[in-house]
Amino acid sequence: MYNNAELKGMLFIDIETSTAAKDLDGFAKIVGPNAKQHWEKKAKYVRLNSPEYIDHSDDRLYQLDAALYPEFGKTVVITIGQITFTEGSQPTPKIKSFYGDNEKDVLEEFMGAMARIFVANPNIKLVGHNVKGFDLPYLIKRSIINGVNIPDKMQLHKLKPWENCLLDTNEIWKSGGWNGGASLSLICDLLNIPSPKQNMYGGEVAEAYWNGRLEEIKEYCEADVAATMNIMLKLSHKELVIMEESPF
């Protein structure tokens, strides 16, 4: 499906997010007196679409689900990676993570790196699973909230659909269908790719973050990036990358 040159022109990306505060009271201290009212409205929508949450209080539901929404959460890890090829065409992952407790610092470091990458390679594609529906919109909104500059190539609201830099493995898997999407974990299992969901799941990230497990979250995010690389390699009938410690 993709040749080596095309694969080398891809920048794989994944993010991990937490609630903006440990609980709803903490969120109110950040946002102001209307914070709880804003979350109450969102919580009604969440319960409507997720009956398993029907008996949860607003505070408990905030702890469980708010990390999914950029208005109520924050970015704690951003991982990017590229595939390089040895002379024998063995693919090797090249990984870097931006992470920490200060979200603005994380976003500034990442957006600065992206600005330099786009200068070096204006045609590079950002590849991720549901990157169009979640990762990039989340990063853009959180950058706006934190007053962080966004490279022109990532200002998706200014670009025509065929001009944007995104390649979504969820859309690739749909193969042109409307309802053919699947989770990253499911695709990995179907294609016999090592799953990144062995030690942690996305819904556990916020709790892990507030329990001081940021390093584990970073490793989980890097495993997601490696898994996405392997999906693209598998679709291209190439060998898989083996995840190792590798500076970007």
Give residue-wise pLDDT tens across range 168-195: 999 999 988 887 789 999 999 999 998 7
Domain count, the chain: 2
Other beta carbons within 10 Å of 171: 18
Whether 95 and 149 map to the same domain: the answer is yes
Question: Do residue 118 and residue 229 come from a single domain?
Answer: yes
Q: What secondary structure does DSSP assign to 162-209, as a single string?
A: GG--EEEHHHHHHTT-SS----HHHHHHHTT---TTSS--GGGHHHHH
Q: Which of 35, 52, 71 is the last residue of a domain?
A: 71
Cα(70)–Cα(173) distance, integer angstroms: 26
Average pLDDT for 126-150? 97
245 pLDDT more than 60: no
Task: Go through the chain and tell me how many residues it has.
Answer: 248
130 vs 62, 134, 185, 201, 230, CA distance in Å? 23, 6, 13, 16, 16
Whether 60 and 88 map to the same domain: the answer is no
Domain identity same for 191 and 101: yes
Residue written as tokens 């890097």? Answer: 222
Q: Is residue 114 part of a domain?
A: yes
Mind listing the pLDDT tens digit for each residue in 61-103? 999 999 999 999 999 999 999 999 987 678 999 999 999 999 9
Same domain, 221 and 164: yes
Domain contains 246: no
Buried b vs exposed e over 215-242: b needs ≥16 C-beta within 10 Å? ebbbbbbbbbbbbbbbbbbbeeebebbe
- Look up the CATH number of the domain holding residue 111: 3.30.420.10
Stretch 34-48: mean pLDDT: 95
Question: Has residue 247 got a pLDDT over 50?
Answer: no
What percentage of residues in the chain have a pLDDT greater than 90?
A: 81
199 Cα distance to chain centroid: 17
| Same domain assignment for residues 59 and 9 | no
Domain that holds residue 55: 21-71
pLDDT for 82? 96
| 158 occurs within a structural domain | yes
My answer on whether 137 and 229 are in the same domain is yes
| pLDDT score of 199 | 65
Domain assignment present for 244: no
What pLDDT was estimated at residue 127?
98
Q: Could you report the per-residue pLDDT of 2-39, keeping only the tens digit for each?
A: 999 999 999 999 999 999 999 999 999 999 999 999 99
Task: Report the chain's mean pLDDT, rounded to a whole number.
Answer: 92
Verify that 203 and 98 share a domain, yes or no: yes
Query: Which residue has 């991720």 as its token pair?
Result: 128
Q: Is residue 247 assigned to a domain?
A: no
pLDDT at position 181 is 80
Query: Exposed, middle or buried: residue 155 (CB in 10 Å: 0-12, 13-18, 19+)?
Result: exposed
Let me know whether 9 and 29 are in one domain: no
40 and 84 in a common domain: no
* CA–CA gap between residue 194 and residue 111 (Å, rounded): 30
Assess if residue 240 is contained within a domain. Answer: no
Same domain, 86 and 192: yes
Tell me whether residue 198 is in a domain.
yes
Judge if 119 and 144 occupy the same domain. yes
Please state, in angstroms and rounded to a whole number, the distance separating the CA atoms of residues 6 and 26.
45
